[in-house]
Structure 1
């Protein structure tokens, strides 16, 4: 009997979620990734929560649940699940994003939840080598990204013990092997 497993991969900004998702799809080519980032609202969307940084710069809070169009994401998940159900092979549908476990109205139960952590200095270092549109204004990491990560992590952690936390400073292959055991049910 065919089975579709819904896998959530979340965690800190630049923790390795996308790289991990790609490795899983490389290993299980019948699988699909839906990235939360593809459902960010437009920059001028009135649903954004805005923050004012200590520099006086006003900027969208991309770490807030309102930054994502959840209705569009849910519709895409529903459509993708229906498409995967037509296939004969076992598949993983991976939902990847930094606040996916904080969204309480997600109607699809995860079979596995993975959360990648990093210490603040490493998360900041990794963030500095990436290009974002819109660009991060000065102070955005310290005043928004990191505090929101801690808030979202704490909120999500209270939901129960079903989330597997992984240290994102570990070797990517070690993280990948740990995730394979979780998502395939292989405890050895």
Structure 2
């Protein structure tokens, strides 16, 4: 059985990880995409939780790596290996955070983008896709995304083999990434 090439794409929320992953997957025959957003824990009773908001309410914290069901992620990786997937793109905020996941990667990519740009993109996306007002996204960013990025994600760039600029054209970044795989 041929080994699966696993490429991890990590970085802050709305840095362009999903867009880059979709572009690479579309251009590479035999490639599959695994988004960590599909592996958040469904049992949320045990946390992790955000700090209390202005009303004193703590919410399930999607900006903490413990929000991901890592056992399901590893099972999905094993399924792709058994199915003979040639290239698996694993993308998500925490893609480079987990040492176990990083250890299975052929190439680790960090997509860097300034916080203000990421927040602007996320506010626009949340409004368009979910009808979430921009002020709610900004409040949640301050409460959870900013501290989560600083505590867990920013440092994961040190584990990257390749750091790409999330402000650049996603097609150009896809070309760079695919060149590295040749």
Q: Any conservation in 1 of the 2:113–2:167 contact (CA below 8 Å)?
A: yes
Unaligned runs of 5+ residues in structure 2 are: none
Question: For residues 122 and 143 of structure 1, what CA distance do their matches in structure 2 show?
Answer: 18
- 1:7-18 matches, within 5 Å, as 7-18=7-18
Alignment match of 2:91 (pick from 92, 96, 115): 96
Deviation at 1:182, TM superposition (A): 1.8
* Alpha-carbon distance between aligned partners in 1 of 2:84 and 2:60, rounded to the nearest angstrom: 35
Is the 1:12–1:117 contact (alpha carbons within 8 Å) kept by the matching residues of 2? yes
Q: Residue by residue, what CA displacement relative to the aligned partner does 1:71-128 show, whole Å, maximum 9, x if unpaired?
A: 011111101111016xxxxx21111111121112338521101111111110110010
User: 2-side partners of 1:105 and 1:5: how far apart?
Assistant: 15
- Residue 177 of structure 2 corresponds to which residue in structure 1? 179
Q: Distance in 2 between matches of 1:118 and 1:150?
A: 13
TM-score by length of 2: 0.84
Report the Cα offset of residue 173 of structure 1: 2.0
Q: Mark the CA change 1:137 to 1:21 in structure 2 (over 3 Å): closer, same or farther.
A: closer
What is the alpha-carbon distance in structure 2 between the residues aligned to residue 166 and residue 150 of structure 1? 18
**RMSD between aligned alpha carbons?**
2.5
The TM-score normalised by the length of structure 1 is: 0.82
Say whether residues 1:129 and 2:128 are aligned partners: no
Q: Which residue of 1 aligns with 2:6?
A: 6
Please list every run of 5 or more consecutive structure 1 residues that lacks an aligned counterpart in the other structure: 86-90
The whole-number CA distance in structure 2 between the counterparts of 1:163 and 1:124 is: 25
Runs of 4+ in 1 over 4 A off after TM superposition: 135-138
The count of corresponding residues between Structure 1 and Structure 2 is: 176
Aligned in 2, Cα 1:47/1:29: closer, same or farther, shift over 3 Å?
Answer: farther
